[in-house]
Structure 1
């Protein structure tokens, strides 16, 4: 949920989104170059199992986040707590931007570019298992560092982000495809937004 940490609502739904365009373009440009020149065969292929992986991991990660945050003892999040007010602009600013665009951009950068590049660089010297482990750590670690650059993270938040990054990387390494990771990340973000809508209705 990087967008909610970068800027609160500014009155114009386009302002927060526009402020993140350079970041998204900075991730999209190397991802597009990588995909055009040297993507692994099958990386963009979609299988029905990718949907299963994505839905299962996204929901599982949200449950783990709830356990780490002791959600059973906390009130539901609300739209106001993550950059409200609840308006037509909120749907653009939060749901579209942080629910869909950000996860897609981040997955293609961290899991396609960084993960695959590190894996390829190390595979011949260290073997597939060691290269996969190193690539996973690099991908998940830089994912956490990007979020830390925009907002000071608690230990719990850093652990949650590292889990998201690690499991998404593991899906790509295990399946050879990116879509399971993309769907998992989208589900993880969107479920939080859905909980905030429920919390606002129940408030």
Structure 2
């Protein structure tokens, strides 16, 4: 971890900025692919320098985290939608014939529910959170106070950048911003407390995946 330093943080922020701006400018599927590529470059660079001990380890309890926390986050998102004036009915795709879009399974199920959570969690929690935590702990010390401060700053900063990136790449309602903030906080705290990235990845997959499945159900049943 000695090579996880301020320089690496700079490369991560550079990749984030370039990806967010490029993705917003290009838009659509191409913009999303450009954003993912820009986020993965600093992740690869960081992991070539060294991988934090235990970060990539997976445990059976991670599936439990995913089902429970991912499900709760989706329920809260639905509740927030109602609070902010939504009808509370199932979401659905906009289409003239009331059917599913031709490539919904590729763009939303594969891209949105599988690829996006992996890329985003490895960047925001597996890279940004870890490097910020490491830098703050080096400054504040390795005692309990230093570790606590590092965890707080790392979770807050990575969550803020996570939400900001979604805002830059597309319209973001108040309800969506609050939901994404909760996703970022929960996933960040999971990485800090477990020392593993996969609980966060799986929670994010369940959250995104249930959103896609509810949209499919709302379209077919509407």
**TM-score normalised to the size of structure 2?**
0.79
CA pair 59-106 structure 1, distance change in 2 beyond 3 A: same
Point out where structure 2 has 5 or more consecutive residues left out of the alignment. Answer: 1-22, 141-145
Deviates more, 1:115-124 or 1:66-75: 66-75
TM-fit CA distance, 1:156? 2.1
Task: Please say if 1:183 is aligned against 2:197.
Answer: no
Root mean square deviation of aligned Cα: 2.1
Kindly indicate whether structure 1 or structure 2 has the higher relative contact order, using CA contacts under 8 Å at least 6 residues apart: 1
Deviates more, 1:57-66 or 1:15-24: 15-24
What CA distance in whole angstroms lies between the structure 2 residues aligned with 1:181 and 1:197?
A: 24
Q: How does 1:155-166 map to 2 (within 5 A)?
A: 155-166=174-185
Contact 2:155 2:189 in 1 (8 A): yes
Given candidates 63, 79, 93, the residue that maps to 2:107 is: 93
Tell me, what secondary structure is at the counterpart of 2:89? coil
Q: How does 1:70-85 map to 2 (within 5 A)?
A: 70=82, 73-80=87-94
What CA distance in whole angstroms lies between the structure 2 residues aligned with 1:45 and 1:179?
A: 7
Give the corresponding residue for 1:55.
Answer: 67
TM-fit CA distance, 1:69? 1.0
TM-fit CA distance, 1:163? 0.7
Give the corresponding residue for 1:10.
Answer: none
**TM-score normalised to the size of structure 1?**
0.86
Task: Please say if 1:40 is aligned against 2:59.
Answer: no
Point out where structure 1 has 5 or more consecutive residues left out of the alignment. Answer: 1-5, 8-14
Given candidates 74, 98, 122, the residue that maps to 2:136 is: 122
Tell me, what secondary structure is at the counterpart of 1:69? helix
